[in-house]
Chain A
Amino acid sequence: MNGDIVLQLDHVAKVYGEDPPVHALRDVSFSVRRGELAAIVGPSGSGKSTLLHIIGTLDRPTSGVVRIRGVDAAGLSDAELSHLRAGQIGFVFQQFFLAEHATVHENVADGLLYAGVGAAERNRLAHEALDRVGLTDRASFRPSKLSGGQRQRVAIARALVGDPAIVLADEPTGNLDSTTGASIMELIHELNAGGATILMITHDADLAAQLPRQIRVLDGQVVSDVTRAAAS
C-alpha cells in the first residue's frame, strides 16, 4: 500500500490583503504519498511557510482544495480541523516551541493531549517516541537543560508521538549549527525509513538535495517537482 495519498493540493492559491494583494501562493498542485520524504525548497519569501500552514490546516487557502487523507479541509469546522490536526498532522518548528516548565517527557506526551488519548497511553507512547529520537535518558529533564539539537529531537518526538499521517517540519535545522543540523537530518531519514511521511521546508538547496523528493517554489508557484529514483 505504498501508493496511499495522504496529502493532495489542487490549484491552491493564497492572497494576503487587498491593497495591494500579495499573492503568496498561486495555483499550487501536488500530492504526497504515504512514506514519502519530501522537501519544499525555495528562497525567502517564496511562500514556503504559507504553504506549510495551509497544508497543516492552520490557515485556509483563498481558493483551491487541500485534502488530508482524502478529506477536504475546506468543509470542516474549527473543531473538526482541530481534531484532524490532533490525530493526523505533526508539526516541527524552527523555534522548537517546547514548554519550559514541563519535562521532556511531558512535552512529548502533550503531543497527544488534544487527541483524546488517555494519560497512561500518552505516557507509553511518549516513552516510545523518546526512544525513537534517542532521548530516553533525558525524559525527566527540563528543555532548558538540553542542547539545541536535543530540543529539536524532543519537538520531533512530540510531532511523531501520535503516529500522524504526515509530519510537517518548517526549517527544522534553521536554528542549529551544521553538525547538529546534520544529525537532525539523519534522524529525519531514519524516521522516514521507519515509515513516517515527512514534508520538510527549507531554503537550503543542499539540504533539500539530500531528500528523495524536492518541490521547488518561487514567488508562490511550484517551479519543479523532482523525485529521485529510489536507490533501493
Chain B
Amino acid sequence: MSPSSGVRLHWRDGLRIASVGLRARPMRAALSALGIAIGTAAIVGVLGLSASSQAGLLAQIDRLGTNLLTVEGGTRITGGDAHLPREAAARIEHLEQVAQVAHTALLRRDRVYRSRLTPVTNTGGLQVRAASANLLTVLGTGLARGAWLNDGTARVPVAVLGATAARRLGMDRIHAEQRIWVGGRWFHVAGILRPSPLAPDTDVSALVGYPAAREYLGYVDVRDAQLGGAPGSIYVRTERGHEAAVQSLLARTANPRSPSEVAVSQPSDVLTARAAAAGAFDSLFLGLGIVALIVGAVGVANIMIISVLERRSEIGLRRALGAMQRQIRTQFLAESILLAVIGGVVGVLFGILATALYATSKGWAVVIPVEAWLGGIASAILIGAVAGLVPAIRASRLPPTEALRTV
C-alpha cells in the first residue's frame, strides 16, 4: 500500500460510488439514458430484423426446395404469347430424373366473384385455374383451411382459393354456405391455401378440378385453342441434384417442334435473391439509430456537466476523505459509462424484443447477430466514456477548497 501509487478501491466500492448520482436522481438518469436506449434499440432492431427475415426466407427456401422448375409458354418468334402443347406434361413425366409433375391451366374467360350481384368488372385481379390433383404436393403449398380437391370434388362445382384470393374475397373460414360465383354458377369453396411462394399465380386463383373445368367452364374447346385445352404452367419436381440436367431438357421435351417458344424458370431463384436483399439492412433506420445515439451522447454529457456543478460539495468531501484526483475522475467517468451502458442494455433488450415479436409474427426464426448486441453495448461504453471525459476531468481538477466553499 504505497502512498505514491495510491489506494485502489475495491470494484464493488467503485461501482457503488459510480452509481451515487444515478441512485440520487433516478428519473434524470433514466431520461438522459433514453436517447442511447432508443438509438441502440433501433440499431439492434434493424440488424436483428434483417437477419431474421433473411433466416426466414432461407428456411422457406430450404423447406420448399430448389428442385422445382416451372415450364410455361414463352413468346413466339412471330410475336405474341406461345402456348404449350397439350401433351407437354405427359412428355415431361417420362423424363428420367423427374420426380413429379403438376400443372394448372388458366381459364381466361372466367372470373371470380363473391356473389352474382358483383359487377363483372370487379374481378379483384382474381383468376380461375384448373389444377392437377397433385398440385399442392409438388408446390409444397399447405392448406390453411378446409380440404383440397379430391376425385369427387374435382368433378363438381367446387373450388379451393389461393391465399390472396381468399383474402380479397373476405373469406377466412370454410363453411357449407361458403361459395363463389364463377362462370355463371355457384362454386362451393372447399378450402383455402397458404401462400405459395414458388407459384405466386395460385395465390390469386380459384382452383378447380380439370373435370369440373371441362364440365362447367368449357375448358376444352376444340374450335378455339385460345380457350384452353393445354396446361398454362407445368411444375416439375426433379430429383435433387439433377435440376440443371432436367432444366436443359425441358424446353425440347415440352415442345419438340419449337423449343424456343417455351419458358423454363426456377422460381426459388426469386426467393434466393430476396433472401440476399433481406440481408442488406435498412440503412435509413440504421442512420436514425446512429443519430439517436449521438443525441443520447450529448444528453449524457450535458447531465454529467450539470452533475459535476451540483455535486461540488460531494467532490470536496471526497477529497477531504482522501480521494485522489484520479479517483474523482474515475468516479465521474464510471458514472457516465454506467449511465450509457444502462441505456445501451435497455436498448438492446428492446431491440431484441421488437425483433422477436416481429419475427415470430412472421414465423421466422429470431436471429440477433452477435455484432448487433455486442456492438450496441460496446458503442454505449464508448459513448459514456467520450461524453463523461470532460466533466470527469473538470471534477478532478476542482480545487478541494473551492469545492467545499458554500456560498
Interface residues of A (CB under 8 A from B): 53, 56, 58-59, 77-80, 82-87, 89, 91, 93, 95, 97, 99-101, 110-111, 113-116, 118-119, 158
Are B13 and A116 touching (Cβ within 8 A)?
A: no
Are B400 and A59 touching (Cβ within 8 A)?
A: yes
Interchain CA distance A119-B9 in the complex, whole Å: 10
What are 13 residue pairs bridging A and B, where the CB atoms are less than 8 Å apart in the complex?
A79-B5, A79-B324, A82-B323, A82-B325, A85-B320, A85-B322, A86-B323, A97-B314, A113-B13, A114-B7, A114-B322, A115-B7, A116-B1
Task: Tell whether B260 is near chain A: CB-to-CB under 8 Å.
Answer: no
Are A79 and B4 touching (Cβ within 8 A)?
A: yes
Are B3 and A56 touching (Cβ within 8 A)?
A: no
Q: Interface on chain A toward B: helix, strand, loop, or mixed SS? A: helix
Chain A residues lying within 8 Å of B17, measured Cβ to Cβ, are 113
In-complex Cβ contact of B4 among A80, A93, A116 (8 A): A80
Closest to A50 in B: B401
Are B4 and A77 touching (Cβ within 8 A)?
A: yes
Task: Tell whether B326 is near chain A: CB-to-CB under 8 Å.
Answer: yes
In-complex Cβ contact of A114 among B24, B314, B323, B400 (8 A): B323
The interface centre, meaning the residue of B317, B322, B326, B400 with most chain A CB atoms within 10 A of its CB, is B322
Are B322 and A115 touching (Cβ within 8 A)?
A: yes
Chain A residues lying within 8 Å of B314, measured Cβ to Cβ, are 97, 99
Known: A53-B401, A78-B325, A101-B24. A83 touches B7 (CB 8 A): yes
Are A119 and B13 touching (Cβ within 8 A)?
A: yes
Are A82 and B322 touching (Cβ within 8 A)?
A: yes
Closest to A78 in B: B325
CB of A190 to closest CB in B, whole Å = 23
Closest to A85 in B: B322
Are A111 and B321 touching (Cβ within 8 A)?
A: yes
Are B9 and A113 touching (Cβ within 8 A)?
A: yes
Q: Interface on chain B toward A: helix, strand, loop, or mixed SS? A: helix
Task: Tell whether B313 is near chain A: CB-to-CB under 8 Å.
Answer: yes
Known: A58-B319, A97-B316. A119 touches B324 (CB 8 A): no
Are B318 and A114 touching (Cβ within 8 A)?
A: yes
Interchain CA distance A220-B317 in the complex, whole Å: 25
Interchain CA distance A84-B319 in the complex, whole Å: 11
Chain B residues lying within 8 Å of A53, measured Cβ to Cβ, are 400-401, 404
Chain B residues lying within 8 Å of A100, measured Cβ to Cβ, are 24
Interchain CA distance A84-B323 in the complex, whole Å: 10
Interface residues of B (CB under 8 A from A): 1, 3-10, 12-13, 17, 20, 23-24, 313-314, 316-327, 399-401, 404, 406
Chain B residues lying within 8 Å of A115, measured Cβ to Cβ, are 7, 322
Known: A79-B4, A95-B406. A114 touches B316 (CB 8 A): no
The interface centre, meaning the residue of B7, B10, B323, B326 with most chain A CB atoms within 10 A of its CB, is B7
Interchain CA distance A116-B9 in the complex, whole Å: 7
Are A58 and B320 touching (Cβ within 8 A)?
A: yes
Interchain CA distance A77-B5 in the complex, whole Å: 10
CB of B391 to closest CB in A, whole Å = 19
Are A86 and B322 touching (Cβ within 8 A)?
A: yes
Are A82 and B324 touching (Cβ within 8 A)?
A: yes
Q: A58-B404, A84-B3 are in contact. List 9 more A-B contacts (CB 8 A).
A: A58-B319, A79-B324, A79-B326, A89-B320, A101-B23, A110-B321, A113-B322, A114-B318, A116-B1
Chain A residues lying within 8 Å of B321, measured Cβ to Cβ, are 85-86, 91, 110-111, 113-114, 158
CB of A81 to closest CB in B, whole Å = 9
The interface centre, meaning the residue of A86, A100, A118 with most chain B CB atoms within 10 A of its CB, is A86
In-complex Cβ contact of B7 among A89, A91, A111, A116 (8 A): A116
Are B24 and A83 touching (Cβ within 8 A)?
A: no
Interchain CA distance A91-B316 in the complex, whole Å: 11
Chain B residues lying within 8 Å of A58, measured Cβ to Cβ, are 319-320, 400-401, 404
Are B322 and A83 touching (Cβ within 8 A)?
A: yes
Closest to B400 in A: A58
Interchain CA distance A196-B318 in the complex, whole Å: 22
CB of B240 to closest CB in A, whole Å = 66
Interchain CA distance A53-B314 in the complex, whole Å: 16
Chain B residues lying within 8 Å of A85, measured Cβ to Cβ, are 319-322
Chain A residues lying within 8 Å of B12, measured Cβ to Cβ, are 119
Chain B residues lying within 8 Å of A158, measured Cβ to Cβ, are 321
Are A91 and B320 touching (Cβ within 8 A)?
A: yes
In-complex Cβ contact of A83 among B6, B10, B400, B406 (8 A): B6
Chain B residues lying within 8 Å of A86, measured Cβ to Cβ, are 7, 321-323
Are A56 and B313 touching (Cβ within 8 A)?
A: no
Chain B residues lying within 8 Å of A83, measured Cβ to Cβ, are 3, 6-7, 322, 324
Chain A residues lying within 8 Å of B399, measured Cβ to Cβ, are 59
Closest A-B pairs by Cβ, 10 of them: A86-B322, A116-B7, A114-B322, A83-B3, A58-B400, A82-B324, A79-B6, A85-B322, A91-B320, A97-B317
Closest to A170 in B: B404
Interchain CA distance A113-B24 in the complex, whole Å: 19
CB of B89 to closest CB in A, whole Å = 81
Chain B residues lying within 8 Å of A97, measured Cβ to Cβ, are 313-314, 316-317, 404
Interchain CA distance A53-B12 in the complex, whole Å: 31
CB of B335 to closest CB in A, whole Å = 14
CB of B314 to closest CB in A, whole Å = 7
